[in-house]
Amino acid sequence: MEKKTIETNYTVYNFDELSESYQMLINKAKEQVSKAYAPYSGFSVGAAVELENGEIFAGSNQENSAYPSGLCAERVAMFYANAQFPNVAVKSMAIVAFTKGIFLPDPITPCGSCRQVLLETEMRFDQNINILLYGTKNTYLIENVKELLPLCFEKSSLQG
Ligand code: THU
């Protein structure tokens, strides 16, 4: 028997400490929460994706009366970006959450299904995606999606 440990690395910033381009991407994600359709949870999420060519695509969560049919902000934004530029790598993504009238002080992290989708994009272009998880108190910078999804299932897993 051998016990193993996996670590996740991330850096915690104050908003003011972030680069201008990261601040701008977070602001794009913040703008999106007013466009969320979240009548069931009252929990609005905004996500913004920056591509290697400088294009930015943003999205918000879209809920449905048949709950599982809705989609998280991260997948709305990522699929939107990949659908417009299928041959351009994604550089970074910002994620923010808003509920009960405030942006949350500490970040939320993407759900498991979103992590799987973000990972596919990271691997598809063979380029790290920097993930910015915004909170009014703390913002986390995670340097690649793999950090968020260790022991993942991916393309090569299909080879058996
Ligand atoms: N949600 C997101 O859009 N992104 C996340 O990272 C977590 C959860 C949405 C799904 C649902 O519309 C609402 O937030 C509550 O779970």
pLDDT in tens, 51-100: 999 999 999 999 999 999 999 999 999 999 999 999 999 999 999 999 99
Q: Domain range holding 99? A: 11-150
Any catalytic annotation for residue 143?
A: no
pLDDT by residue (tens digit) across 92-134? Answer: 999 999 999 999 999 999 999 999 999 999 999 999 999 999 9
What DSSP letter does each residue of 137-158 carry, written as one string?
Answer: S-EEEES-GGGGSTT---GGGG
- CA 48 – CA 99 distance, rounded (Å): 18
Residue 4 lies in a domain: no
Q: Assess contact for 90 and 121: CB atoms under 8 A.
A: yes
Single out the catalytic residue among 50, 63, 74, 122: 74
The total of structural domains in the chain comes to 1
List 63's β-bridge partners, or say none. none
- CA 10 – CA 148 distance, rounded (Å): 10
Helix (H, G, I), strand (E, B) or coil at 61: coil
Instruction: Name the closest-CA residue to atom 8, ligand 1.
Output: 72
Q: How far is the CA of 45 from the centre of ligand 1 (A)?
A: 6
Confidence of residue 160 (pLDDT cuts 50, 70, 90): confident
Residue 125 lies in a domain: yes
Residue 158 lies in a domain: no
Residue 2 lies in a domain: no
Residue 126 lies in a domain: yes
Residue 159 lies in a domain: no
Residue 81 lies in a domain: yes
Residue 3 lies in a domain: no
Query: CATH code at 139?
Result: 3.40.140.10
Task: Give the model's pLDDT for residue 51.
Answer: 98
Close Cβ partners of 124 (under 8 Å, ≥ 6 residues apart): none
pLDDT at 157 over 90: yes
